[in-house]
Structure 1
């Protein structure tokens, strides 16, 4: 009888080992190398993960989601053409652009490649072609940020090239939630490519975010960004257990780090259904 009891105990313990190992894997925090990150249930606003989420940091081209909102809120026709001028050349970082000075594009095309491919001259041109010019545009950006209760955010240019465009991971979830309500922003930000005419010749622009090409992610919104000061940054909205979830990654240290951090966070949440209850 004693041997039978010992045998049963061994069987129970053996059956519990994989369950305990699984519980440990689920409980372990995901590997996130970025300076700051957050994952938020879009419907409830509940934070599912946070790392330095209230630290104020440069945000690079994540700025362009706000830029797109200001452009669309102006109600000006996207079918109106606009020209790239010398005033749209980046003289802060001397970043590369595929649009030569003199290029004439529809405003909708400029908005598309600013969101999808972070085309800085397009964003600069859209801000200049605004009531009150670029200063008026930047004022509208900060007014919109205040309206969204992005209290630790401030903007000085429409591209994010300036390190003085700052926000927090938590504030940026508010921006992402607001931008997600614009069908045009969702469409342009998640499209795979765009053929652009009106410059020196036909130009094929492609999305800078590899996650949009992964069918399993079903990306609903995204924006990438990089400057030396900001590091590699990402906003992406994708479903987790059927619920739209926004991921914000700020200051990843290498060129693929922001994408890998997002993958690690989403994989962790998929293993932890309790987080979405």
Structure 2
């Protein structure tokens, strides 16, 4: 390794948030085979809550401590949680946010045939597309962001792989920008690291923590509504949020919340329905609030 590469690697290690270390620790714990060792591990002190989601992790971002985990290292589809990575890679490229993008036939979902509020021929700025992709999980907007990435979608996918490598994540695989493909997979522990990384982007935090917004589409304002009904709800202080759903992934949620003044990352993968996903999140928040009081 060259001195320049070594210095670059060292800088990344210094910048990574504590939750990345927690993800690695959680992975190591999940791979332990000695029952006695597992009994002495911090997992024995974690929250035990009757959540519905099959894969769960809750991390105190300030300390990196894993507060709750359930099958957090299983590699599973992540649906539209993918769009957090899409947004980070687009923002990293520092592209002109005012550049006009046009939705084309290439942006139409031919895999799941999902519905869209954006018809072919619609024009919007890259900024509007970013907000639609993150807040309303608009697949055509996310597709347009990748299609217009310098070098096209293949270059976009390469940039995502480079981002994952820089974050030290080896169990996440992304093949397209929307999350419609079941080939987009990760683990709950690595999604916690991705969510924590996304929280370092003020634009992602601003967009995903807003209950609603207006953006210009085809020259006219269009109102957007956050797909996470908890954003803006009483008792919640959500700083980063992304929901996801496909038949393969189930109902998914990744978010950073404030428990008092402490940032907490919550990841729920493969819940049976929206109501169960909301109930899981509420159980976790109430338990954390009791601990803090």
Q: TM-score, normalised by structure 1?
A: 0.86
Residue 250 of structure 2 corresponds to residue 206 of structure 1: no
- Per-residue CA deviations over 1:182-223 (Å, capped at 9, x if unaligned) read 000001112222334434965322111111121421110100
Separation in 1 of the partners of 2:130 and 2:173? 22
Check conservation: 1:100, 1:200, Cα contact below 8 A. no
Out of 204-213 and 194-203, give the one that drifted further. Answer: 194-203
Q: Which consecutive residues of structure 1, in runs of 5 or more, have no partner in the other structure? A: 1-25
Q: Which runs of 4+ in 1 moved over 4 A?
A: 199-202
Deviation at 1:269, TM superposition (A): 2.0
CA–CA separation in structure 1 for the residues paired with 2:193 and 2:46: 27
SS at 1:212's partner residue? coil
Residue 54 of structure 2 corresponds to residue 35 of structure 1: yes
Aligned to 1:251: 270
CA contact (8 A) 1:196 1:202 kept: yes
Report the counterpart of residue 48 of structure 1 in structure 2.
67
Q: Matches of 1:134 and 1:101 in 2, distance apart?
A: 18
Residue number in structure 2 paired with 1:136: 155
Per-residue deviation at 1:162?
0.3
Whether contact under 8 Å (2:46, 2:69) holds in the other structure is no
The aligned length equals: 249
Matches within 5 A, 1:102-113: 102-113=121-132
Query: What are the residue-to-residue correspondences of 1:1-277 with 2, within 5 Å?
Result: 29-199=48-218, 203-273=222-292
- Distance of 2:199 and 2:217 partners within structure 1: 29
Say which is worse superposed, 193-202 or 152-161, in terms of deviation.
193-202
**158-167 vs 207-216, which deviates more?**
207-216
| Shift in alpha-carbon separation, 1:38–1:200, aligned structure 2, 3 A | same
The alignment yields a C-alpha RMSD, in angstroms, of 1.8
Task: Provide closer, same or farther for how the CA distance between residues 272 and 135 of structure 1 changes in structure 2, counting only shifts above 3 A.
Answer: same
C-alpha displacement at 1:28, in angstroms? Answer: 7.3
Does the 8 A contact of 2:209 with 2:231 survive in 1?
yes
Q: Which has the larger radius of gyration?
A: 1
